[in-house]
């Protein structure tokens, strides 16, 4: 075998391996990407309208580019593009989880500050936990996209926005954010929120069994 023939064989094997690896990622990645768009479209949340339109355009462009890469047998480029699409989809998950985390924290702050609760507050808390669990759940592979440490970071980052919103609602908006912050134990509330999210995921696992 000549050196040139050997290099051609190695190159062919590399392309075959890249194609197989790419195909193994293709279907789940496309389903994952389109699933994110579908969730936004069907949610009914007006705040997602812009994201829905923008996201559709981005994914259609990415899918067209992916198809071009595959047709031209540029499997390495296709695999790289799939990685980018997966990262974009995870960012969408994070944004949605953070939005519901703000809702969760907002009501926990009101409960802590006012030393009371209502049926509507408790319902909002339960719904927020359910939505976080649903969004974070991996449908086919099982498990969750965001691990405990990532969820903890989201809770920490969402707290300030939750406090701002809580100041508008707690005590009929009589107190500023800084004044309300003195009435609520930040560490205790964040710990409680994370605990509720993790317990929600555990309950979902048990129901699946």
Query: How do the pLDDT tens digits run along the chain, 209 residues long?
Result: 554 544 444 344 444 444 444 444 444 444 443 443 444 444 444 434 444 444 455 556 767 777 787 777 777 777 776 666 666 677 788 899 999 999 999 999 999 999 999 999 999 999 999 999 999 988 777 788 899 999 999 999 999 999 999 999 999 999 999 999 999 999 999 999 999 999 999 876 666 55
Q: In whole angstroms, how far apart are CA 152 and each of 33, 73, 110, 126?
A: 25, 42, 20, 18
- pLDDT at residue 115, rounded to an integer: 97
- pLDDT at residue 86, rounded to an integer: 65
8 CB-contact burial (10 Å; exposed 0-12 / middle 13-18 / buried 19+): exposed
Residues 6 or more apart in contact with residue 150 via CB below 8 angstroms: 94
Distance CA 152, CA 52 (A): 27
The domain locations on the chain are 3-208
CB atoms within 10 A of CB 123: 11
The pairs formed by 152-157 with CB atoms below 8 angstroms and a separation of 24 or more are 152/194, 154/94, 154/97, 154/98, 154/101, 155/101, 155/105, 155/190, 155/193, 155/194, 155/197, 156/190, 157/98
Whole-model pTM: value is 0.63
Residues 6 or more apart in contact with residue 86 via CB below 8 angstroms: 29, 32, 33
Distance CA 6, CA 132 (A): 53
What beta strand segments (E) does 22-129 contain? none
- pLDDT at residue 57, rounded to an integer: 55
- pLDDT at residue 85, rounded to an integer: 63
Q: Name the phi and psi angles at 184, rounded to 5.
A: -120, 135
- pLDDT at residue 152, rounded to an integer: 97
């Amino acid at each position: 075998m000549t050196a040139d023939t050997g290099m051609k064989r190695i190159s062919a094997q590399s392309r075959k391996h890249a194609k197989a690896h790419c195909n193994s990622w293709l279907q789940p990645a496309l389903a994952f990407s389109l699933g994110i768009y579908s969730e936004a479209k069907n949610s009914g949340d007006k705040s997602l309208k812009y994201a829905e339109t923008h996201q559709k355009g981005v994914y259609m462009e990415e899918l067209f580019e992916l198809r071009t890469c595959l047709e031209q047998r540029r499997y390495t480029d296709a695999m790289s593009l799939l990685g980018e699409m997966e990262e974009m989809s995870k960012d969408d998950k994070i944004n949605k989880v953070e939005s519901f985390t703000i809702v969760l924290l907002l009501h926990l702050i009101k409960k802590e500050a006012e030393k009371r609760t209502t049926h509507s507050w408790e319902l909002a808390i339960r719904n927020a936990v359910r939505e976080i669990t649903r969004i974070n759940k991996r449908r086919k592979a099982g498990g969750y996209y965001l691990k405990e440490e990532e969820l903890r970071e989201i809770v920490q980052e969402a707290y300030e926005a939750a406090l701002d919103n809580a100041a508008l609602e707690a005590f009929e908006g009589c107190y500023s954010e800084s004044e309300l912050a003195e009435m609520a134990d930040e560490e205790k509330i964040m710990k409680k929120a994370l605990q509720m999210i993790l317990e929600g995921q555990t309950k979902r696992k048990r129901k699946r069994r």
